[in-house]
Structure 1
Amino acid sequence: MSQDRAETERILLLTEGRTTPLSAKTATGVLRYSLGQVVGLIDSTQAGRTAGELLGVGGDILVFAALGQAPEADTLIVGIAPAGGELSGPLRREIRGAIERGMRVESGMHFFLNDDEEFSRLAKRSGSTLVDLRKNDAHDVARFDAFDPDCLRLHTVGDDCCVGKMVVSVELARGMTRGGCETKFVATGQTGMLIEGDGCAVDAVVSDFIAGATERLVLAAKGHDAVVVEGQGSLANPRYSGVTMGLLHGCLPQGLVMCYEAGRAEVVGLEPMPLPPLEEVIASYLSVANLQHPCRFIGVAINSRLLSGDEYRREKDLVQERLNLPAWDVVRESVDGLVDEALKLRRQLADKGSPC
């Protein structure tokens, strides 16, 4: 997938029944980073409210009850990705309406629009373009070809899904580039692909080929000073840990960033399954990551969206003391401290003449 989105492109985000930060991660990512002009969200259960109110980003962009009530747009992006790719009646109705209008429809669901007989027929008639972000042809096992020794490999990991790994990855890559270290954000999920314009949704890759698909993405970034490979799932979340393991082995990171949401005590979607202590999660990642290549953590990224300013400062002090690692919320503060740690690692590896 490769796409250059025009800044003038008018976008509607479909978030029917799921306009929350956890459920509408794709919509939130597009609002925060994507080129193009988002002119509205569609959710019949939240009509009249704003993106800023519901998602914490997007300001006064309005939510509309249906496509027919929303402003005209060029593109409809399905801003949610229900587990298993289920397509509810309301979702299907709005997608059908967009196709009938000849709009471009982009989806990160496991349900593929192009495989749907009705959608394909309507698209041919209207001239609509259907984009299935998760569809891929990755069928290569990892070969463990030599990576570029001059390109630092960083990887974001977490104690659970939906903790902010993509945001941290984008912010870190952009911050390093601003600091003079040309860095590629390697998108491994549908939202990252919408932002970056390339990548691969590795959770839709056959399990044998996840490491290989990840390896190909890193090799394709040759010529950059560094890459930040977006993390997925968590070793501590048994639903998605297989994807997490494939990413770790595929990119053989030299540096890791630990991401977590302050206040979360249970695995999302598997409540009341408790999350292990961060110390145990970090030890697990180090054990797996160091099986084939030296690797260490460079810092911690705190998702403090549920904390007040005072609560955040206490949390930051506590986690730095507990883990003996520097920590920041890269949205609440800035990514500069994490950038400094990444550049420090790059200098240390260069001084040691570290193998790739």
Structure 2
Amino acid sequence: MPNPAETATPAALASLDLPQPYLLFLGDVEHPAFAKTALGLRDWARELCVGEFALPGAGVSLNLPAMTPAQAHASGARAMVVGVANVGGVIPPAWLPSLLQALDAGLDLIGGLHQRLNDIPELREAAARHGRRLIDVRQPPPGLPVANGRKRGGKRLLTVGTDCALGKKYTALSLTGELRALGVDATFRASGQTGVLIAGRGLPLDAVVADFAAGAAEWLSPDNRAEHWDVIEGQGSLSHPAYAGVSLALLHGSQPDAIVVCHRPGRERMLGYPDYPLPSIEETIALNLALGRRTNPAIRCAGVSLDTSHLDAGQAQALIESERARLRLPVADPIRGGAALRALALSCVAGS
């Protein structure tokens, strides 16, 4: 357990030393939601992605050039990123030959799963033999403090969700860009492994010992100028049967002035937990505001972000307009952008 007397410093938020560009490894993943690390890098750091590498039978493609590790190295890649975020964050034995193949081809390995690359003897031995690096991104800095609950300077926006894997990271990144376009001093704060890889800095909150998780969220968005906004990547859902603890720690520690609720229309059950129905948007707003008031009594909901990627443009626009009228809140798709995203960004900073 980290020693709270050894307080982590903001230096740990400095840029990571990552070998780039990347080959993105998809393993044998069958659902896009479990390839969110690879998809996030493709969508937000395309210039760093040389190609993709998947096992036979994988059901997901990034529409990047398919390459072996040797071909990727010849094309300039310097690392292979494990682009999968599976339940439990494990590396199945079936992946090991492909990971060893990457090391043999001259690539470093970057992992963001709970199971660390450095904890696998075969990978350690191969990395040492070839002079390659094993880089585990999902590893918090030492000495994170216990939360103190004190109010910090600056403003904070947190993306929250009805479930996992439905746009909290994309929403935070899109709103950061939109706020900057409006002239707002805004910083994206990554709280998960994919966000850390995209931004090159941040903290994997779900890898922090539970007693220090809210303190880690405080540390992730430190004191700042009154007019500055931290846009914090949300994690999980307060209604999730497995990951609600991370969501609550992030909510309490970040002390958000505003939340944006993220949702995928048409999803009726928790991803990977079919016995659990999704809460409504209204339930999610109410629960986050009720629990968020514990550390910021002035918390408010600025609006809703919808993942409409499964709809055509006309269907998406109609749904956004109908939900805006029904909820009486700004509603937007962070990827489709446009006037709806601008209205959502303006609502986030309204009155600041």
Which range, TM-score by smaller chain?
Answer: 0.7 to 0.9
CA offset digits 1:114-147 (Å, max 9, x no partner): 1222222222222211111111235421022441
Asked whether the equivalents of residues 51 and 63 of structure 1 are also in contact (C-alpha less than 8 Å), the reply is: no
1:336 maps to a residue whose letter is: R
Mapping of residues 84-233 of structure 1, within 5 Å:
84-136=88-140, 137=142, 139-148=144-153, 151-219=154-222, 225-233=228-236
Q: Secondary structure at the match of 1:15?
A: strand
> Residue 82 of structure 1 is aligned with which of 73, 82, 86?
86
Deviation of 1:224 (Å)? 7.4
Amino acid at match of 1:312: A
How far does the alpha carbon of each residue in 1:287-345 deviate from its partner, in whole angstroms, 9 at most, with x for none? 0111231100111101001112232223212322222111011212333222222232x
C-alpha separation between the residues in 1 aligned to 2:60 and 2:276? 33
Match among 236, 239, 243 for residue 236 of structure 1? 239
Q: TM-score, normalised by structure 2?
A: 0.88
CA distance in 1 between counterparts of 2:166 and 2:59 reads 28
Cα deviation 1:261-303 (Å, max 9, x = unaligned): 0111111111142112221121111101112311001111010
SS of structure 1 residue aligned to 2:88: helix
**How far apart in 2 are the matches of 1:76 and 1:221?**
36
Change (3 A) 1:235 1:48: closer
Consecutive unaligned residues in structure 1, runs of 5 or more: 53-60, 350-356
* Separation of aligned partners in 2, 1:49 and 1:160: 21
User: How far is the alpha carbon of 1:15 from its aligned partner?
Assistant: 0.4
Give percent identity, aligned residues only.
33
Task: Identify which of 13, 24, 28 aligns with 1:13.
Answer: 24
Segments of structure 2 that go 5 or more residues without pairing to the other structure are 1-11
Deviation at 1:234, TM superposition (A): 0.3
Partner of 1:339: 345
Q: Name the CA distance, whole Å, in 1 between partners of 2:89 and 2:282.
A: 34
Residue 222 of structure 1: how far off its partner (Å): 6.2
Q: CA deviation at 1:50?
A: 5.4
Q: Is 2:34 the counterpart of 1:41? A: no
Match for 1:3: what amino acid?
L
Paired residue secondary structure (2:321): helix
Q: Which moved more, 1:327-336 or 1:253-262?
A: 327-336
Q: Say if 1:76 and 1:106, in contact at 8 Å, map to a contact too.
A: yes
For the residues of structure 2 that align with 1:235 and 1:48, how far apart are their CA atoms? 30
Q: Distance in 2 between matches of 1:246 and 1:84?
A: 19
Residue 242 of structure 2 aligns with an amino acid whose one-letter code is: R
For the aligned residues, what is the CA RMSD? 2.3
Greater shift after overlay, 255-264 or 313-322?
A: 313-322
TM-score (norm 1): 0.87
Post-superposition Cα deviations, 1:195-215, rounded to whole Å, max 9, x if no partner, equal: 111111111111111100110
Matched, 1:310 2:314: yes
Mapped partners of 1:26, 1:138: distance in 2: 27
Q: Secondary structure at the match of 2:29?
A: coil
Q: Tell me, yes or no, if the aligned pair for 1:233 and 1:243 is still in contact at 8 Å.
A: yes
